[in-house]
Amino acid sequence: MCSIFGMFDLQPGDDLAGLRRQALELSQRQRHRGPDWSGVFVDAGVILVHERLAIVDPASGSQPLRSRDETLALAVNGEIYNHRELRAASDYDFTTGSDCEVINALYRQYGAEGFIEQGVSRLNGIFAFALWDSETQRYLIARDPLGVCPLYWGHDAEGRLCVASEMKALSGVCADVDTFPPGHIFDSATGELRRYYHKPWRDYAVTRGNDLAPAALREAFEQAVHRQLMTDVPYGVLLSGGLDSSLVAACAARFARERIEDDDRSEAWWPRLHSFAIGLEGSPDLAAAQIAADALGTVHHGFVYTFWEGLDALPEVIRHIETYDVTTIRASTPMFLLARRIKAMGVKMVLSGEGSDEIFGGYLYFHKAPSPEAFHEETVRKLDALHSFDCLRANKAMMAWGVEARVPFLDLEFLDVAMGLDAKHKMAGQGRIEKAVLREAFQGALPDSILWRQKEQFSDGVGYGWIDGLKAHAEQAVSDREFAAAATRFPHNPPATKEAYLYRRIFEQHFPGAACAATVPGGKSIACSSPAALAWDPAFAAAADPSGRAVRGVHQQALA
């Protein structure tokens, strides 16, 4: 991954040299995402800046990517996992080995309209891109279906459209800064923002009655991990010792010895799989991660951080992740500290387990789902919101130190398989643990203590003293008088706890203005659950604390 910055709709009288300098300065705010190289493209109507983190084809894949005739310019943050298949089927004259260049190829193959309707949907990957066609003076901006890669946009004081991978590049420049929606593409020729990602499985009726053999589910996920191991640089896996990260590690360990980029015909450049975990001294995750690592044979690195190290990092964490959501900040802080350790070891890419809980209903409140249809609808809603929470956390907390996080559970091919399964097979409760269908598919792949470990939120698993300490600190840092006036100071999404107030206050220092605040979804919730899910049990609505421990009774009651 990398970062992109674009400035569009430049006018003939504009000072291109001055705007180029401004674009570089703004892009520099997100250079932590791409410390390896910077590239700039300037044309009469556009400026594109790219900060590169070289993962695939580090020798020749610098951006913006130009077509051979120099009419196309493309800036991309992301990875295209099926690029070799797309490249093999194309007669485009490629100029690099970059996986992202297939976007230019598809645009040439389909034309602008066909690319919007069909071409972009052929990409299996995580991406945010801006493509400029100088022949037609037309540009396209798009974001991957689930929003794994962040993207923001807004207009400067002169009405120029600006886009950036992180909000910090637009803050203070665009008064109307907003999140670019996942699964959409913007076409400058029509001025329309169009959804390109449409899936029939969003409707439960389409999935009703669909069965899937455990072996088929396992094979689909193993292939997702295999696709995402494409890399020309050292990589590893995040291993918390929970089910999801352990399954990712187990699959990666199976394929680690062969080089994915040449169809497993040669030995991998880095054949030993390294795994990484972090927690407070004595944390549940550190202990479980070591068990999983020993079973899988990874070179494991378990790091211990102190409460004060985490607390000291909070302002920087909030600046990087660009949110004031309580759960996200709690979990992002240890991840941010872990990313720094990983970067120091020379690793540039890691696989992570985000997305499994949304697909398979892994949060404890899913035990209360009244029907398969309600269960399925909530998983769809969770996937739609993922870009504001877990994807945001994994991407920005790791990329703060130039480490790319990939998420195999959100591989688009695997998603079609898993979400096409009738939710009756995913239901928990009445003695059935959450994500049982996934656990059963991987029977024997992990020690039972890991395979059947109960759901533990990452911010809980790193050590319960982390959340308890944050609450205690917020009680001291935020006065009763301040908190009483919270709704006056923060009329949009007023904080419901002193901890939330503390985070909101730090966020405002870095990102002042109503537009920035509005990019963060609000509402009192259990793990960001919907009003419909809150209705599953009236007790949910009374809980302001989103910690997994706050709903632990759900698990106990469901198994009783």
Give the torsion through C-alpha atoms of 72, 44, 129, 1, to 10 deg: 100
Q: Provide the CA 460 distance to its chain's centre, in angstroms.
A: 20
Strand partners, 278: 303
Is 437 in contact with 426 (CB distance < 8 Å)? Answer: yes
Give the torsion through C-alpha atoms of 477, 166, 361, 256, to 10 deg: -110
Is 457 in contact with 526 (CB distance < 8 Å)? Answer: no
Distance between CA atoms of residues 197 and 82, nearest Å: 17
DSSP, collapsed to helix, strand or coil, labels residue 362 as coil
DSSP, collapsed to helix, strand or coil, labels residue 310 as helix
Strand partners, 238: 276
Annotated active-site residue in 2, 100, 251, 391 = 2
| Phi–psi pair at 256, nearest 5 degrees | -65, -25
Distance between CA atoms of residues 182 and 465, nearest Å: 35
Is 274 in contact with 302 (CB distance < 8 Å)? Answer: no
Q: What is the CA radius of gyration of the chain?
A: 23
* 162 tagged catalytic: no
Residues 426, 81, 407: CA angle, nearest 5 degrees? 40
Distance between CA atoms of residues 428 and 426, nearest Å: 7
Distance between CA atoms of residues 459 and 521, nearest Å: 20
Distance between CA atoms of residues 559 and 345, nearest Å: 43
Tokens representing residue 376 in the block: 């399925």
Is 284 in contact with 272 (CB distance < 8 Å)? Answer: no
Tell me which residues are annotated as active site: 2
